[in-house]
Structure 1
Amino acid sequence: MADSSKVPAPIYTTDYKPHPTETMKAAQWTGTKSVTVGEVPKPTITAPKDAIVHITHCCICGSDLHMYGGEMNQAMQEGDIMGHEAIGYVDEIGPEVQKIKAGDRVIILPVIACGDCFYCKEQQYSLCDKTNPSKMMENLYGHRLSGIFGYSHLTGGYPGDQAEFCRVPNADLVLIKCPEDMPAKKALALADVTDTAWHGVELAEVREGDVVGVWGCGPIGLSIQKLSKEIRGAKKVYAIDKDLHRLKIAESFGMIPVDVSKVEPDEYILSVEPHGLDRGIEASGFRSTGSTKHKIMRATGLEGDSADTVTQAIKATRKGGNVALIGDFFFNTNMFPIGMLMEKTITLRGGQLMAQKYYPYLLDLVKEGKYDPSFVFTKVDDFENIPQEYDMQYHQTVPGGLKSIMVTPYGRALGQPL
């Protein structure tokens, strides 16, 4: 079948149709390491399948830091509304919304998918043809991927949900109904963190009895580790990081900590697991540079991403094993070990989460008490303090070491349990 992403297709409007009189507070990108809380017009219904969600809780994703830190400046415009992790209540729906109604408590998924194109029909929602008009991405990759809330104009320029209200296109597919009695931390963790982590174990094909290595012990990395062990039945999980506090968290969950400030992780793993890992998962992100060479190349603009952690994962993984990339890589890298990858017959996969594919399974896991994702939130703060929260998350100084949940004025008024 021909690749439909090369064929012109209807594009979901990314226009921000402002309310004529009402305003709201929103977290806006105003430059490198600068996010401010601004007063902007409240969004309104733009298309028949839209919904407007009144946000109660939101948080900052590690991938938001790509825009905050300056790596994505060419794809940003001053005033862009940030964020793609939020929950709330449906305030208004368009005339063609069928599954969602006003008053429903909902989780907003990050990926904006049409549900009708070739990729959506294959449940590969993050590869959607129709929701991202970005020519920049098409020129960069040869194809467009899906739209994503608040994630630069590379993914469509959709206003994000770090705001008091958010317009949600194709609401029947992009919103998940959430039980009223589910604590906010669990519900919000299901918006992106748990989905992305599950995508990682799916890409790596983690199976019962596997030996798994996860590069990164942030919220996503720790979630991958827990899902690999608690849900997929991995025999051993190596947790690889340089942050001692996060390594201690991983160890408390039953993982085997590997401190990269003391050992070369690939060499250490092969010394204790001569067979190698069955599955290696990179969840530390493209900013992870260990070698001097990659630090110099990134600093001088000779590469955009670093292959240090990917190289370690490929080397530590057994012949015929799997390596998954879940930390965001956008651009190019040098010295990629293509020979090692090919000769060891390793399967390498990556990509953005296919969020809609994993529901209702993930929601049921949490509802039934089989998995608790709320551990990723180690601090509670008011939405108005989001500029300081960006600074803390960027410098990894969030109290408790992981992630803050932010409560909007509407969320505080409702007084829901966290």
Structure 2
Amino acid sequence: MKALRWHGKKDIRCDTVPDPKIEHPRDAIIKVSSCAICGSDLHLYDGFMPGMESGDIMGHEFMGEVMEVGKENTALKVGDRVVVPFTIICGECDQCKRGNFSVCERSNRNRDIADKMFGHTTAGLFGYTHLTGGYPGGQAEFVRVPYADKTHVKIPDGLTDEQVLFLGDIFPTGWQAAVQCDIEPTDTVAIWGAGPVGQMAIRSAVLLGAKQVISIDCVPERLSMARAGGAVTIDFKEESVLERLKELTGGKGPEKCIDAVGMESHATRSLDAMYDRAKQAVMLETDRPHVLREMIYVCRPAGTLSVPGVYGGLLDKIPFGASMNKGLTWRMGQTHVNRWTDDLLRRIQEGQIDPSFVITHTVSLDEGPRMYKTFRDKEDGCIKVVLKP
């Protein structure tokens, strides 16, 4: 089969590799009909996440048709159409029983490594480093899905791939980011980053009843899409984020702030951004946390910071004293995908939202390596890439 594989920093190739096989009675083999390049994949492409090995198959946002099931998998049958969440879940451990699926205690087959890195293991993830299990990802023609009797979302007839594909990651990720804010009808929600997750967070905050949603980015196409979704926009290259947020909130600051950027934040007018790039260049810092610093500073006292953006390691110069003294609440983490998918699938079926709005490019799997660069460099108006194996 064909698959996109990581061969080092900025080196993604479409290779021929062996087809996957059933390895455990709960497995399923999926023939991929659609997959996508996620912003989190760019952290791997840029070489910022530890634990990648040459030849690893990329991708954690995919769906398709069930081709084969293990003998203990009674939840699926050949021919079922499914979206596969990026978080691999057993459905039986204490965390899964609590709905904390992204910290499943059993699905990371490299849990000893994760225990040493994080203190306790998190869930296994598709296509996302050997810290999270080293599982082959979904940017491929076929995928083996472990714990497939739980790690799936069945798709009813009448919905296109494009409508439901993002139930595997970016839609529930943006939704969880907004839900974590406990949005009140009087709230202003400020969202840093208008990429795919930021776009879903904007529409989620609107659906959850925020008084005002503000999107902060610098890419014209992203800002235009954010406005179409109901947000007021701030172009941080053209205006001061701090001053504009004061204007838009009567000087009080937003009650809720969402970091949909993560470890590779960009800034053009700040000394801290230059500091981060210098320390990152000599490997004294792994992540660039400009957005986190800015959120702490501008958030209204007693407000909430929600962090769906991925961070990989060590951060420097975080004004934690300001956060403590302002009484800010932090909520973060990888997405508990299956906690949200029943509700979100219903909203798609009822026409409340069609997540396909975010797609700007649809190409073949062979074109994937080229599209990684296009997406990373924000060329050709690229916001979201869907691949068709």
Looking at structure 2, the residues matched to 282 and 401 of structure 1 have their Cα atoms a distance apart, in angstroms, of: 20
Looking at structure 2, the residues matched to 272 and 225 of structure 1 have their Cα atoms a distance apart, in angstroms, of: 16
How far the C-alpha of 1:78 sits from its partner, in A, is: 1.1
1:279-321 per-residue CA deviation (whole Å, 9 max, x = no partner) reads 1000012111422222222222221112211111122211111
C-alpha contact 2:167 2:341 (8 A) present in aligned 1: no
**Quick one: which amino acid aligns to residue 320 of structure 2?**
I
Give the match's secondary structure for 2:301: strand
What's the TM-score once normalised by structure 1's chain length? 0.89
How far the C-alpha of 1:181 sits from its partner, in A, is: 1.8
Matched, 1:323 2:305: yes
2:134 is aligned, of 135, 157, 161, to 157
**Where do 5+ consecutive residues of structure 1 fail to align?**
1-23, 409-418
How far the C-alpha of 1:348 sits from its partner, in A, is: 0.8
Looking at structure 1, the residues matched to 148 and 136 of structure 2 have their Cα atoms a distance apart, in angstroms, of: 15
Looking at structure 2, the residues matched to 181 and 42 of structure 1 have their Cα atoms a distance apart, in angstroms, of: 30
1:112-140 per-residue CA deviation (whole Å, 9 max, x = no partner) reads 01111111111000011111124332222
Matched, 1:39 2:20: no
Partner of 1:259: 235
How far the C-alpha of 1:392 sits from its partner, in A, is: 0.9
Partner of 1:75: 51
Looking at structure 2, the residues matched to 29 and 114 of structure 1 have their Cα atoms a distance apart, in angstroms, of: 27
C-alpha contact 1:196 1:326 (8 A) present in aligned 2: yes
**Quick one: which amino acid aligns to residue 249 of structure 1?**
M
Give the match's secondary structure for 1:306: coil
**Quick one: which amino acid aligns to residue 384 of structure 2?**
K
C-alpha contact 1:49 1:170 (8 A) present in aligned 2: yes
Looking at structure 1, the residues matched to 228 and 337 of structure 2 have their Cα atoms a distance apart, in angstroms, of: 28
Matched, 1:402 2:383: yes
Looking at structure 1, the residues matched to 199 and 186 of structure 2 have their Cα atoms a distance apart, in angstroms, of: 19
**Quick one: which amino acid aligns to residue 251 of structure 1?**
R
Give the match's secondary structure for 1:130: coil
Give the match's secondary structure for 1:106: strand
C-alpha contact 1:289 1:295 (8 A) present in aligned 2: no
Matched, 1:193 2:185: no
Give the match's secondary structure for 1:319: coil
Equivalent pairs: percent with the same residue?
36
Looking at structure 1, the residues matched to 243 and 74 of structure 2 have their Cα atoms a distance apart, in angstroms, of: 54
1:121 is aligned, of 75, 97, 113, to 97
Matches within 5 A, 1:366-385: 366-385=348-367
Looking at structure 2, the residues matched to 136 and 400 of structure 1 have their Cα atoms a distance apart, in angstroms, of: 39
1:261-283 per-residue CA deviation (whole Å, 9 max, x = no partner) reads 12331343124312211110000
Matched, 1:307 2:322: no
Matched, 1:285 2:267: no
How far the C-alpha of 1:75 sits from its partner, in A, is: 0.7
Looking at structure 1, the residues matched to 156 and 184 of structure 2 have their Cα atoms a distance apart, in angstroms, of: 30
Matched, 1:243 2:219: yes
Give the match's secondary structure for 2:17: strand
2:114 is aligned, of 137, 155, 173, to 137
How far the C-alpha of 1:39 sits from its partner, in A, is: 1.1
Partner of 2:270: none
Matched, 1:181 2:158: yes
Count of residues in correspondence between the two structures: 382
Looking at structure 1, the residues matched to 117 and 74 of structure 2 have their Cα atoms a distance apart, in angstroms, of: 36
**Where do 5+ consecutive residues of structure 2 fail to align?**
268-272
Looking at structure 2, the residues matched to 267 and 305 of structure 1 have their Cα atoms a distance apart, in angstroms, of: 26
C-alpha contact 2:3 2:365 (8 A) present in aligned 1: no
* Mean CA deviation greater in 78-87 or 201-210: 201-210
Partner of 1:276: 253
C-alpha contact 1:266 1:313 (8 A) present in aligned 2: no
How far the C-alpha of 1:206 sits from its partner, in A, is: 2.4
1:165-214 per-residue CA deviation (whole Å, 9 max, x = no partner) reads 10111112111111232112111122211011111112222233321000
Partner of 1:362: 344
Give the match's secondary structure for 1:41: coil
Looking at structure 2, the residues matched to 110 and 178 of structure 1 have their Cα atoms a distance apart, in angstroms, of: 16
Partner of 1:219: 196
**Quick one: which amino acid aligns to residue 41 of structure 2?**
D
1:92 is aligned, of 68, 71, 76, to 68
C-alpha contact 1:84 1:148 (8 A) present in aligned 2: yes
Looking at structure 2, the residues matched to 157 and 216 of structure 1 have their Cα atoms a distance apart, in angstroms, of: 28
Partner of 2:210: 234
